[in-house]
Structure 1
């Protein structure tokens, strides 16, 4: 038994150029869709917040049009310069700030909400924010709305800034968040407006507001440097406006492939029922969200499973949505799930693939093992460390020491993920190499050492929001509305 290290995969940018770091690729070559019809030439931004927030956001967004110096440290690969956000550099698009697309939430309204009990605060804050969002959209449809969440609302369930939160463990449990989850409720409620939201904390654009957050479960870790904050923020903004920052490198000999991540959630009104959700991706990162059927916990392994019919229907629905979006079905599909595939699920999914004329279908169980690997010296195993545990299982470190960064950039001791093939057509090394590439398809953070493949990470984010939608509610198929 011997471990090996998978080489860090490159990403593709404008003109077919390649780089292993998304930030350097954008700065040197531009986004992969540069010069294409789908690339946004300008992004009309709406703003929503109190007066102090609107003033601060306007100043910060204007300042980000020009370059922001790199953090003065000895690791340039980890902290590069931000080139600025304008038509001539970086993402090669302009930021349009129109005062008519900016709505102020009055301080008196926020003070009234602050005096209420937690659940009342959630309800009242949602009512105020949704009313203002609707008015903003009616004034003139922006491409993205940036919502500032003041300090007095941040204990209502607002996640940590992009790029700072640790990714969740891979497990077969139902996706859930403790607390009121104001972030999720706001995005669910605003979905009918058909405009993506970007929620920010004041500390994102104003260093003087660091440490004022009141969320009890949140412990300040220190603010990211200015260039990193800008990289994370504007990458997400570009994607939400319809752009494609980068994509996986695809060999010309490879078949068209789509990746399906399956997660489970409990509907708010039906706590005893778990429902599946699928996130479908191609190598460009173009995603389609599909709500699936109910799941039940097995008495045998205590994990959530779909019936044969629901597994077949769910995958058929996902592939049909993919076909509607891309005008063709893929030649190969790979399904990732954080619970084991039982016989009924395997039969149902394989039958769905066959019915659509797809010969290549792989089912991969992704979980967190108890096994850890160690290397000599101070640093943890390198990202890409691969250990085969037989023909159908392996360990893979997607988090670990990164040669390009010249360090391990995480805060906690990294653990590997386990990949188990329920249905395989390739060796586990090929599967692991693909997961390494998928872990770099993250529009919420420009650090490329994501723990989970994009298929599962985004499926879990979608589940957090979609559980607040009723069974007959409109479900936006685009991932930009959930991130």
Structure 2
């Protein structure tokens, strides 16, 4: 077994590079700060009870200024102070919220929901009340993102526990139809063209600190997500060498229908060097009755990649020289044939096929801490282990709570070296603008696809999905 450590990928900001999103924004400014097309103000809408809206207003006001880091943190790089969201800070824009940009949910409406005994009816009524207020703001107020604050009594009766994996179907599993408040509300509001941010009331209440992130970290994640969702904006992008030809990373994963009886594909494509994502909806797939593993037919794989590459061409007015395809399960020969035929039809020079999945193997290092993020082990020519979560030298600690699990990279076919593939995936784990801690586990190609599937299952065939990832995160 050969083991090496890959350097932490650097991120590009307006005036410099850094490995940390928080430090990069604070010192060098968000990437698009110097672009003429960006706006210097974003407008936030709010929906919740009067108390929730009041808490949201106070929180947004706090986020305009500097928020000190937690006083009890020993590793200062892990918990940085928040730089403030204003025109003179790293975000280079003002964040605006007022009562005119909010709609209040009546206490009597909340009580009406709480009094409903049937859970499905209770969740549906909550969706209806929030949606009618979201619709009003989207159609009658100048807002870029709408924050929905859920009061705690309501959250306790509409929250849904996550079920098992989305990628397989168990024939013996009892039939039921999923109804998840967050997913269903985002899907229903999607045609309105305003991304949503859902928050619990307890996250905004300064008197409730148990189980909560420190305020600075909370502000970093909240404001970075809002900035990206307000689009078209991008806080950072990956630093890339000029020697390599343009490439396009495509992630294919599967999601189950709400009744869990059919599987469809969802695809997330990072279609340019800025990291802008394109969301495409796939078609239902057949399930082999013997191994229960979902696979695309050759024609489905061909059609899916053709559509993705055509969207890439529309965005950049050219085709990429290379396509790397990440899949959450093993590639079949039919899938490879279909994807390769699509690449040939579009005159793509190089296509790499990489399966990315969890591994049951573990590595150990001396001492009490797990292996470093970036530890790369070659098991054989095709199978490799990559620690995308682990001890982080920059943080001077392991920032997780559980023993980290490496991902396994199965390089089916590739024109690039295994080390190059691993570095590319390590970089793509940093392209989730919903979180500013940079040690994400999965590349955004697959992490994004899973999030997309959660929302996509609530859209009907006649609904047109939004193509920006901001609507799904």
TM-score for both structures, normalised by structure 2 = 0.94
Aligned pair in 2 of structure 1 residues 169, 182: CA closer, same or farther (>3 Å)?
A: closer
Q: CA deviation at 1:100?
A: 2.2
In the TM superposition, 1:226-265 aligns within 5 A as 226-242=215-231, 243-265=233-255
- Taking the aligned partners of 2:338 and 2:332, their CA distance within structure 1 comes to 10
1:384 matches 2:378: no
Aligned pair in 2 of structure 1 residues 12, 174: CA closer, same or farther (>3 Å)?
A: farther
- SS of residue paired to 1:363: strand
Q: Is the 8 A contact 2:119 2:158 kept in 1?
A: no
In the TM superposition, 1:66-81 aligns within 5 A as 66-72=65-71, 73-81=73-81
Partner in structure 1 of residue 305 of structure 2: 315
Q: CA deviation at 1:324?
A: 2.2
Q: CA deviation at 1:331?
A: 1.5
- Taking the aligned partners of 1:268 and 1:70, their CA distance within structure 2 comes to 42
Partner in structure 1 of residue 321 of structure 2: 331
Partner in structure 2 of residue 87 of structure 1: 87
Partner in structure 2 of residue 396 of structure 1: 386
Partner in structure 1 of residue 145 of structure 2: 144
- Taking the aligned partners of 2:273 and 2:399, their CA distance within structure 1 comes to 26
Aligned pair in 2 of structure 1 residues 355, 155: CA closer, same or farther (>3 Å)?
A: farther
Deviates more, 1:114-123 or 1:223-232: 114-123
Partner in structure 1 of residue 197 of structure 2: 198
- Taking the aligned partners of 1:263 and 1:48, their CA distance within structure 2 comes to 33
Q: CA deviation at 1:23?
A: 0.4
Aligned pair in 2 of structure 1 residues 171, 96: CA closer, same or farther (>3 Å)?
A: closer
Q: Is the 8 A contact 1:294 1:310 kept in 2?
A: no
Q: From 214, 221, 226, give the equivalent of 1:225.
A: 214
- Taking the aligned partners of 2:144 and 2:204, their CA distance within structure 1 comes to 20
Aligned pair in 2 of structure 1 residues 158, 24: CA closer, same or farther (>3 Å)?
A: farther
Partner in structure 1 of residue 55 of structure 2: 56
| Matched residue count | 465
- Taking the aligned partners of 1:158 and 1:428, their CA distance within structure 2 comes to 42
Partner in structure 2 of residue 362 of structure 1: 352
Partner in structure 2 of residue 3 of structure 1: 3
Please tell me the root mean square deviation across aligned C-alpha atoms, in Å.
Answer: 2.2
1:135 matches 2:139: no
Partner in structure 2 of residue 436 of structure 1: 426
Q: CA deviation at 1:39?
A: 2.4
Aligned pair in 2 of structure 1 residues 277, 54: CA closer, same or farther (>3 Å)?
A: same
- Taking the aligned partners of 1:237 and 1:38, their CA distance within structure 2 comes to 18
Q: CA deviation at 1:387?
A: 0.3
Aligned pair in 2 of structure 1 residues 230, 397: CA closer, same or farther (>3 Å)?
A: same
Q: Is the 8 A contact 1:12 1:247 kept in 2?
A: yes
Q: Is the 8 A contact 1:261 1:337 kept in 2?
A: yes
Q: Is the 8 A contact 1:388 1:395 kept in 2?
A: yes
Provide, for residues 287-306 of structure 1, a one-character-per-residue CA deviation record: whole Å limited to 9, x for no partner.
01001122122346431100
Q: CA deviation at 1:106?
A: 0.3
- SS of residue paired to 2:265: strand
- Taking the aligned partners of 1:226 and 1:105, their CA distance within structure 2 comes to 26
In the alignment, structure 2 segments of 5+ residues that lack a partner are none
Q: Is the 8 A contact 1:157 1:180 kept in 2?
A: no
Deviates more, 1:317-326 or 1:351-360: 317-326
- Taking the aligned partners of 1:421 and 1:378, their CA distance within structure 2 comes to 32
- SS of residue paired to 2:99: strand
Q: CA deviation at 1:113?
A: 0.2
In the alignment, structure 1 segments of 5+ residues that lack a partner are 212-221
Aligned pair in 2 of structure 1 residues 109, 209: CA closer, same or farther (>3 Å)?
A: farther
TM-score for both structures, normalised by structure 1 = 0.92
- Taking the aligned partners of 1:11 and 1:204, their CA distance within structure 2 comes to 29
Q: Is the 8 A contact 1:383 1:402 kept in 2?
A: yes
- Taking the aligned partners of 1:169 and 1:424, their CA distance within structure 2 comes to 32
Q: CA deviation at 1:368?
A: 1.1
Q: CA deviation at 1:319?
A: 1.5
Aligned pair in 2 of structure 1 residues 7, 94: CA closer, same or farther (>3 Å)?
A: same
Partner in structure 1 of residue 115 of structure 2: 115
Aligned pair in 2 of structure 1 residues 171, 466: CA closer, same or farther (>3 Å)?
A: closer
Q: CA deviation at 1:80?
A: 0.5
1:188 matches 2:187: yes
Provide, for residues 112-141 of structure 1, a one-character-per-residue CA deviation record: whole Å limited to 9, x for no partner.
101112111111011111111111122223
Partner in structure 1 of residue 435 of structure 2: 445
Aligned pair in 2 of structure 1 residues 156, 383: CA closer, same or farther (>3 Å)?
A: farther
Aligned pair in 2 of structure 1 residues 174, 341: CA closer, same or farther (>3 Å)?
A: same
Q: Is the 8 A contact 1:157 1:179 kept in 2?
A: no
1:27 matches 2:22: no
